A and B are shown apart, each in its own frame.
Chain A
Amino acid sequence: MSRKLFALLIFASLMLGACGGAATPTIRIGINAPLTGDIPKVGEGTKFSAEMWLEENGGTITVGGTEYPVELVIEDNESKGESAAAVNTKLITQDEVHVIVGPQSSKQAVPAGGVANDQKTPMISPWSTNPNTTLDRPWVFRTPFLDPFQGPVVANFVTDEFGFTKAGVLYDVASDYPKGLAEFFKSGWEDIHGPDSVVAFESFTTGDADFSAQLTNIMNAGAEFIFTPQYYNEVALIVQQAHELGFEGPIVGSDSWGSAETVELCGEDCYGLFFSTHYAAEGATGATKAFIDKYNENYGYVPDDVGALTWDALNIVKQAIQDCGEITGDLEADRLCIRDAMANIEEFPGITGNMTFTEEGDPIKCAVIVRISEEGLFTFYKQVCP
């Protein structure tokens, strides 16, 4: 009896399955974001940006005259490496996405990039700066500039602007982005001013809130300024504590400062400070301004750099899909086509600057030096191109 029942069921399901096809294939884009864990704000920025992008495009992408519906699959990676790899595997094999945007931090992007590369699915990380993310991985791309570029940019800027010769650095030894950047800054600075010109190279560990010992060391070593490539929450504490300890020199930062929360948490202490980043929110024009205004209107705050980079990553994806010419519904072919189109993108006009990918899938783009104005706004100061 049971066998008959099964045969019937299988037959019925085959019939139903056969009727299913023939519609326009949906373009699915996976978003691998840290919604919980250490950096939930980054996850939120990613999610908001992606949702806004979908709304802006009316939920469709037109390729060669055909309008394809777009579906975003947003997954939380809990800010953990193994979880990011699992999410990527799930997105690729279960949700059958065409392309993945994310993960953001390198500790998730490196293992997740390995999965994407092995499974031949294009992935673009909007925020990861670790060289290993894209190294020897033809399927993996990124939108930010790399630390080896940004470090010397800051070193050159400080030399030109202030004429200092003695630098102090404070960074998080347990976190991969600050650590990498601090080291590239150090080598960049020492190339200009000779060995031992970084008089203090101090560190702390993720989760610390007290930096007084390190700051005291830096001051004691006679540093003229402090470079601290930290995230916005730590920036506020570092700057305030430095001022309380009586440090009067400038404190310079990197693109991780590029969040509306930097000024909100730090207040007046941060006014007049400089940092290098991807774009300047205040005084932006054109597409950049349109994006910032729209985001501000939707979510009530000026987007962080991660939001802008995610936006760019999604637009690169869109461009690649359009360059592709046709979405066939054959997942493997479409993924390959999108990857090839992405690798061939030239001078892509992103809101964080124009981008062309190198063979490794890293963009060549300009950095911007931003000054925090007396009103707490991020104003454009200078542009540095490679």
Chain B
Amino acid sequence: MTTNSASTPTIRQRIRALFSRIWEPYRSVPLLGWLIAALVAVGLEQLVGLPLARGLGLTKIPALFGAVVILSKPALTPSALLFTTLIYILPIGIVARFTAPLTNRIAAKLAEYPLVVTALVHLVLLYAVLHIWCDITDYRLLVARLAMISIILTLSLNVVNGYMGEFSCSHPGFMSIGAYVASAFTIVLFVSENRFGEALLPPALGPYMFPLALMLGGLISAFGALLVAIPSFRTRGDYLAIISLAFMFIVKSFFENMEVVGGARGISNQPDYATLPIVFLWTILSIWIINNFVRSTMGKALNAVRDGELAANAMTVDTRKTKMTAFLFAAFWAGVAGGLFAHVLRYINPDSFGIRKLAEVLAMVYFGGLNSVTGSVVGAVGLSLISEALRPLDIFKWIIIPIMLILIMIYRPTGLIAFTEFNVEKIFLPKGRAPEGAEHASA
């Protein structure tokens, strides 16, 4: 901006001023308020969504906020926009704003209880929103589950590429190890008439043993990560990039040759254990644990290694051990994500875990932002939704998405929300009681 902007506001400034005026009352809405508002919106959609959509000339409730409708039938754009406004924007806006005093009071009350209680209340609300939202169509259900799996995957890669500052390419490999191990576990034990023979345990036990299957998958992929970690962390440099790439090729080739698990034909008939609540729970668990990990001493040591390995070493950080731990930790979560992925799709083959998957995960990490838990969540959910929403564009989808990513890289080289800390305690707190917010806005 040039100097004359002080006297006569430019259009951009005016727009910005307008936005901040609209936004002003919302500064004091706590997370609880937003969640309740969202709950009202999805409830409203559940109750009146269908007749409203029909009334507006749409055959169905637009699944992804009308984006698909707009792109495939541009004539219905006003209806789709109107629907989204009426069901989401207006109710959320109104409810969030007018319940703010109430929700702030509740949030303040909640803050007096232990963190666990506060977190649980928020999580239950979040899950309720998600559940009702997904209840409209199975399409949302699938998209939501895949998006949450992407969150785990993105977060775990961010530990290596963001917090540790190395460039790892082996995530699809870890994911496939987890997917295959978990699939083999559940199919051998709980599915009859499969390639491995009769079920060894009663299928009713299955859902309870599922966490075990996932963890086993994660542990074995962490063990696989040792193969990468031992040679690559001997020196600093970019050798992790190719060693991990070689590892990815090796794992893919390994499963192609494993006739026991179907070779290139893949393995199907995984039991349907990865339901919405299960995936949700694992996602929350991964966010919580990874967030704690990166905020722990270990996480800080990791950042120190990234910013200056020698200096870190001098400050008594055991660099090698730190890097190894972080890498194995990331591989574990990638394995868990793979296990969930296999049970959502209920079919996997080695080809699903190749270079294309790698490009997808890398894009999510750098889109969302390095070194940031929030960034990873935004990146994974954002890119998954965009990729579904742009489906009507057919071939041009894969031109638009890369262009978008290039622009983001150029204007925000570390991603949308990079280098932030995700402070769990703070986000639940009531907001804006003091004039702090106002001061902040005018500054």
Contacts and interface: CB of A to CB of B under 8 A. Distances in A.
Chains A and B directly touch (beta carbon < 8 Å): yes
Interface of A: 2, 9-10, 12-17, 20, 35-36, 75-76, 78, 80-82, 85-87, 89-90, 92-94, 96, 106-107, 110-111, 114, 119, 130, 132, 173-176, 179-180, 205-206
A106 to B, nearest CB: 7
Nearest to A105: B351
B263 interface: yes
Contact of B54 (A9, A16, A111, A180): A16
B350 A106 contact: no
Contacts of B398: 36, 78
Contacts of B252: 174
Contacts of B402: none
A114 B346 contact: yes
B346 A107 contact: no
A17 B51 contact: yes
A9 B52 contact: yes
B251 to A, nearest CB: 13
Interface string B343-369: 001111111100010000000000000
A86 B142 contact: yes
B63 A94 contact: yes
B56 interface: yes
A12 B138 contact: no
Contact of B352 (A80, A86, A130): A80
B51 A10 contact: yes
B345 A111 contact: yes
Contacts of A85: 142, 345, 347
Contacts of A92: 138-139
Interface string B159-202: 00000000000000000000000000000000000000000000
Contacts of A20: 54
Contacts of B52: 9-10, 13
B138 A119 contact: yes
11 contacts: A2-B94, A13-B54, A17-B55, A85-B345, A96-B59, A110-B347, A132-B268, A175-B351, A176-B265, A205-B253, A206-B351
Interface residues of B, number: 49
A213 B160 CA distance: 38
B137 interface: yes
B356 A80 contact: yes
Contacts of A17: 50-51, 54-55
Interface stretch (B23-31, B313-321, B387-395): B387-395
Given A17-B55, A20-B54, A111-B345, A10 B48 contact: yes
Contacts of B48: 10, 13
A36 B257 CA distance: 27
A132 B252 CA distance: 21
A86 B143 contact: yes
A78 to B, nearest CB: 8
B142 A15 contact: no
Chain A contact residues, majority secondary structure: helix
A133 B90 CA distance: 45
Nearest to B61: A94
Contact of A93 (B51, B137, B253, B388): B137
Contacts of B59: 96
A86 B68 CA distance: 14
A176 B54 contact: no
Nearest to B50: A17
Contacts of A75: 391
Interface in B298-315: none
A119 to B, nearest CB: 7
B173 to A, nearest CB: 15
Q: Which 4 A-B pairs have the closest CB atoms?
A: A13-B55, A17-B54, A16-B55, A111-B347
A91 to B, nearest CB: 9
A354 B347 CA distance: 31
B55 A82 contact: no
Contacts of B94: 2
Nearest to A119: B138
A13 B60 CA distance: 13
A87 B360 CA distance: 18
Contacts of B203: none
Contacts of A87: 391
Contacts of B266: 81, 107, 110, 176
A174 B266 CA distance: 10
B51 A90 contact: no
Nearest to A173: B256
Contacts of B86: 9
A180 B265 contact: yes
B265 A132 contact: yes
B264 A179 contact: yes
A276 B54 CA distance: 51
B51 A13 contact: yes
A183 to B, nearest CB: 9
Nearest to A132: B268
Nearest to B349: A107
B388 A107 contact: no
A94 B252 CA distance: 35
A115 to B, nearest CB: 8
Contacts of A14: 51, 55
B416 interface: no
A78 B146 CA distance: 16
B268 A175 contact: no
A107 B86 CA distance: 41
B394 A36 contact: yes
A13 B257 contact: no
Contacts of A81: 266, 345, 347-349, 351-352
Interface in B312-345: 341, 345
Nearest to B388: A86
